[in-house]
Structure 1
Amino acid sequence: MADPFISVVVSAYSMERYTDLLSLIDSLKSQAYTNFEVILVIEKSSQLFSNLNRCLSQHPYSRNFKLFFNDGLPGLASARNLGVEKSQGEIIAFIDDDAAASPEWLGCIACCFREDKKIIGLTGPALPWWEHPGLSWFPAEFNWVISTMPCLPRSRGYIRNAWGTNMAFRRQAFSNGQGFDTELGAKGGGKKGKSELVGEDTEFCLRICRQSGLNILYAPEVKVMHRVYRYRLKPGFIAKRAYWEGYTKAVFKYRLGKETSGAGVLSEELGLLRRIFLRLLPLSLLNLPLKPRRSALTILTTLNILGSTGWGYIRGMASARFISVKEAVNA
């Protein structure tokens, strides 16, 4: 069977990440797999667009790279939808602009789709790439706060949803013009953090699996590294990110629960919550005399995240119900 043509969609919006974006491009041009194209979608920053255009034009590998500017609705979901529209691949892969792919990344993606006809999408590890080694105290249970995967599975298996930092889908997932929900997803918060509904990747996976009857595969060999900057571990940034995660999951639970009888909508979150209360917190308390600084940071961060997520969840449920009642009254 011939190697499938893969389109890699990357979106970027800030000159602050220009160096990171060049590192990602280097990792993509170093792929062992050669049957691919890269769709780069830039928004907000005309300087980033012009600098990248100039850089690509000076290199022979630029024939595999296509550059576009998103002058429509801003945001990650919208930029990725534009990338899908401009792509030609049988498989469409996504990676963040501040990540880097392993040399076998695309080859492993192609192999997974060839071997398993029961999948419509897949994801793999997004491993923390710490700006400084001193940041690695951060608990793995909360890696979702820093856009990496929490508590990675040890083997292949079907899971609920892919992670936006590292995911790929068959083109049929985007058939009939459906794509990522533009009401969800980051709008470019940067160091200020996100202040909007997140989870466009989760909602998309739930929707396409329900419609197609196919699965999302977790493949541990499909690896990327994702940069973790110092500012992402500041208490205020963490609290804002956790709040909007809780808010979004409440909206998912309320809206999708009615379609699926609530089955599995928050199954992974509940499993992670059990791990936090039954393992992370007890071990941190036990280690407090032996590793006081690390244990204290873990406990305080846990309380910050649980409190912020819980408050966001309460606000999200209240908002979803209010909107539902308002729509019913106006119907």
Structure 2
Amino acid sequence: MSGRHFSVVICAYTEDRWEDVLAAVESVRHQSRPALETLLVVDHNEALLERLGKEYQDAGEEVRVLANAGPRGLSAGRNTGIAAARGDIVAFLDDDAVAERDWLRWFDEAYDDPRVVAVGGRTVPVWASGRRPVWFPEEFDWVVGCTYRGLPPGQVRVRNVLGGNASFRRGAFDAAGGFATGIGRDGDKRPLGCEETELCIRLGNALPDAVLLIDDRAVIHHKVPVARERFRYFRTRAYAEGLSKALVARSVGAGKGLETERRYTTRVLPAGVARGLRDFVLARPGGAGRAGAIVAGVAVAAGGYVRGALASRKGGGFSYGPIGDPP
């Protein structure tokens, strides 16, 4: 085992996920490659902060409960965790996910290469209903925060990692700053995202020789509640992704901000539509629905992007969430 130390940050915001948060923490505590600490950052919820504080009051430095020191939202919560982290690698795990036993082990192995500054893993959906809805295309699993069809298998170099299953060298934040607080989830009902994409592109600009990887052996299992299995959420999340991508393009330019998305929409999605139509012809369940969902998802996301691009011209914006002193 290397001499690297891992700090794992889990951001929580609602007591509705109480059992999920406890399961996430336990999955970190049982890693084959132990973490130095788990940092539970609570997003402006005093009742949850107090309850978690009592739950882990005897955990010492192994589990620390912190209040989000910035504005409401996931980005500021993560920045709070980064500021408090004592490890030289900071990993992030969603509050409604559990990591497999070797999750940190595979992350750690990748950092043997000194060029590597970030490593992500594979996020597998756990459907509340017991199985994937037949109409839900794997190409759109990012809608529910999971690894989507179209990413190459194995350990591969990528533009950005996915924030709910990711790790960064501590020095990455020194070079690029923290997560942008005007992008991503902020407690509003609209499910925005892309804060990790924007950070990773900034990181690549700050460190041109840096390598960012996804290792699909670093697996977490992410719960998908029934409400997110419905087409209404699918449509809302796709629209929000378009809005978020417009903010990213504004921040880092459309060239890098949409580079991966161009390949995705011109190669991965047409192949998905073709598979859906083939399944329809072969009378396989959900084929037409999957093809239609892909077309609808692209159209809705494009509408969100156009609206976001127009809105961004009117001003407003976001900050890069500098990493300050720990709370």
TM-score (norm 1): 0.87
Match of 2:231 in 1: 235
Between stretches 92-101 and 102-111, larger displacement belongs to 102-111
Counterpart of 1:288?
Answer: 280
Larger RCO: Structure 1 or Structure 2 (Cα < 8 Å, ≥ 6 residues apart)? 2
Residue of structure 2 aligned with 1:244, choices 240, 243, 247 = 240
Task: Give me the CA root mean square deviation.
Answer: 2.1
Of 118, 122, 128, the match for 1:121: 118
Asked if structure 1 preserves the Cα contact closer than 8 Å seen for 2:139 and 2:269, the reply is no
Q: Distance in 2 between matches of 1:52 and 1:321?
A: 42
Q: Matched residues in 1 for 2:45 and 2:110: separation? A: 36
Q: Could you tell me whether the CA contact under 8 Å between 1:3 and 1:35 is conserved in 2?
A: no
Map 1:128-167; keep pairs closer than 5 Å.
Answer: 128-137=125-134, 138-151=136-149, 152-167=151-166
Summarize the Cα distance change of 1:35–1:16 in structure 2 as closer, same or farther, 3 Å threshold.
closer
Alignment counterpart, residue 204 of structure 1, candidates 199, 208, 226: 199
Describe the shift of the 1:282–1:179 C-alpha distance in structure 2 as closer, same or farther (beyond 3 A).
same
Q: Please list every run of 5 or more consecutive structure 2 residues that lacks an aligned counterpart in the other structure.
A: 317-327
- Structure 2 letter corresponding to 1:156: Q
How many residue pairs are counted as aligned between the two chains? Answer: 313
Q: Determine the C-alpha separation between the residues in 1 that align with 2:133 and 2:306.
A: 31
* Identical counterparts, % of pairs: 28
Q: Which amino acid aligns with 2:32?
A: A
Distance 1:76 1:108 in 2: 25
Corresponding position of 1:328: none
Conservation of the 8 A alpha-carbon contact between 1:135 and 1:230: no
Choose between structure 1 and 2: higher helix proportion.
1
- Residue 222 of structure 1: which of 187, 194, 218 is its match? 218
**Aligned partners of 1:159 and 1:13: how far apart in 2?**
29
Question: 1:56 Cα shift?
Answer: 1.8
Instruction: Measure, in 2, the Cα distance between the counterparts of 1:313 and 1:42.
Output: 31
Counterpart AA for 1:38? T
The equivalent residue for 1:22 is 22
What are the equivalent positions in structure 2 for 1:21-60 lying under 5 Å apart?
Answer: 21-57=21-57
2:315 corresponds to which residue? 323
Q: Post-superposition shift, 1:146?
A: 0.6
Q: Which residue of 2 aligns with 1:268?
A: 260
- The reply on whether 1:314 has 2:306 as its aligned counterpart is yes
Post-superposition offset of 1:145: 0.6
Unaligned runs of 5+ in 1: 325-331
**1:168–1:106 distance in 2 versus 1, CA, 3 Å:** same
Aligned residue identity for 1:42: V
8 A Cα contact 2:190 2:240, kept in partner: no
CA displacement, residues 255-281 of structure 1 (integer Å, 9 cap, x when unaligned):
422xxxx54432221222123553111
